[in-house]
Amino acid sequence: EVQLVESGGGLVQPGGSLRLSCAASGFTFSSYWMSWVRQAPGKGLEWVANIKQDGSEKYYVDSVKGRFTISRDNAKNSLYLQMNSLRAEDTAVYYCARELPRFATFDYWGQGTLVTVSS
């Protein structure tokens, strides 16, 4: 069974940093693109970033470029999102999702971790 479990969320002040993790199991993690997708409270979904199987390609939505860094450790079956210079508008539940670029879709999602940026 495919499982994605996020962790690392919490309350952080504006300008602060946070590192999210996503532990994957039930599939060959190193064979898949992975993405982070976020959802602000009461709002819709927003794609944030993705990373190729070997980490050689990474893409970001414009609003987080230069502040967020996506990475992965295939030996640990883990995906990460380093978030710096956090803003109030980054407040959201962050989901990690397995991506199928061939179909431009996300077939499995974790339960999410809440990041709150507030003073």
Cα Rg for the chain, rounded, in angstroms?
A: 13
Q: With contact defined as beta carbons under 8 Å apart, do 118 and 41 qualify?
A: no
Q: Would you say 56 or 119 has its CB closer to another protein?
A: 56
Q: Measuring CA to CA, which residue among 74, 80, 77, 78 is closest to residue 94?
A: 80
Task: Supply the minimum distance, in Å, between the C-beta of residue 117 and another protein.
Answer: 21
- For position 2 contacting another protein by CB under 8 A, the verdict is no
Task: Supply the minimum distance, in Å, between the C-beta of residue 61 and another protein.
Answer: 5
Site string for another protein, 19-38 (x = CB under 8 A): ------------------x-
Q: How far apart are CA 51 and CA 13, in angstroms?
A: 27
* Cβ neighbours for 19, distance < 8 A, ≥ 6 positions apart: 8, 80, 81, 82, 83
- For position 104 contacting another protein by CB under 8 A, the verdict is yes
- For position 61 contacting another protein by CB under 8 A, the verdict is yes
Q: Which residues bind another protein (CB under 8 A)?
A: 37, 44-47, 50, 59, 61-62, 95, 100, 103-112
